[in-house]
Structure 1
């Protein structure tokens, strides 16, 4: 199984990146590719830019990587209750190639934040909009109070209940 994963953040210290790296380390017998959204930086989407310059090459590369994957894992950072600008821009450009951005690929959607909300607002938005963009969401999980439940030095979840929930979510990708 080829698994594509990324944190929907462009922060170099992204806790969502730490979570997605841990999640992918729990998948056995899989080829893992973890994307850095900084590699897909593009001008802010506008219809005028699209008409004047076409769709940037990075959007096509992002779309192609999703299409080549057997499964996708995304961990969403939350900025003011919504998607990060970095993710939203990549998504907006990619959706101009095909509204079915996720190409019916099985997905696990994650989110975390330092606070007790665990980025549930953005995760809810992602889960609810997923069918419109051909995302086959098999499971989703919010990790609240990240630094209370994750050991950054060891790079792993320390909360057994959340770890079990993550394991169960990841098992859904094989189904």
Structure 2
């Protein structure tokens, strides 16, 4: 039994990326799942001055420890202005200061979604290229376009082809654990 940590790169209480992560982990059987809602993880904007004066918060250290303990990570990144959100960038800035390779060769299932036709693809691609610097092994990716049309709470991904692609990507990730 593998241990999987899952979260969205958004701290919005109405995050569609969190909904996608929550749905994704509901499909996983036989593994230990820890699902984090990042609304509960507020972090100040990173700066060296703040770090020098205040150090690292307990919640940051706990999150880093949860990442280290996990066998695999599922992340769905949100997109703001054609890039990952400031929240997600700030989160990776903080985590990389505590431990540069905080993802330590872990398989990562990287996803994104948005209300538009590209499904957060630009944020997904940027993140896919950046997180290996922190030790991640990107095992699979998936982008869900037109979230409101292709996802229903309680049902999940409603488009059959997208649901099939999502399942294939999830299975690819799970095979790496």
**If the length of structure 2 is used for normalisation, what is the TM-score?**
0.93
User: Which residue in 2 is equivalent to 1:115?
Assistant: 116
User: Which residue in 1 is equivalent to 2:61?
Assistant: 60
User: Which residue in 1 is equivalent to 2:37?
Assistant: 36
Q: How big is each residue's C-alpha offset from its partner over 1:120-148, in whole Å with a ceiling of 9 and x where there is no partner?
A: 11000011112211111100011111111
Kept in 1, the 8 Å contact 2:13–2:39? The answer is no
Q: How big is each residue's C-alpha offset from its partner over 1:113-170, in whole Å with a ceiling of 9 and x where there is no partner?
A: 0010100110000111122111111000111111111112x24100111111111111
CA separation in 2, counterparts of 1:9 and 1:60?
19
Question: Map of 1:5-154 to 2, 5 A cutoff?
Answer: 5-152=6-153, 154=154
Moved over 3 A (4+): none
- Secondary structure of the equivalent of 1:93? helix
- Secondary structure of the equivalent of 1:10? coil
CA separation in 2, counterparts of 1:36 and 1:88?
16
RMSD: 1.2
CA separation in 2, counterparts of 1:132 and 1:155?
36
**If the length of structure 1 is used for normalisation, what is the TM-score?**
0.94
User: Which residue in 1 is equivalent to 2:160?
Assistant: 160
Q: How many aligned residue pairs are there?
A: 174
Unaligned runs of 5+ in 2: none
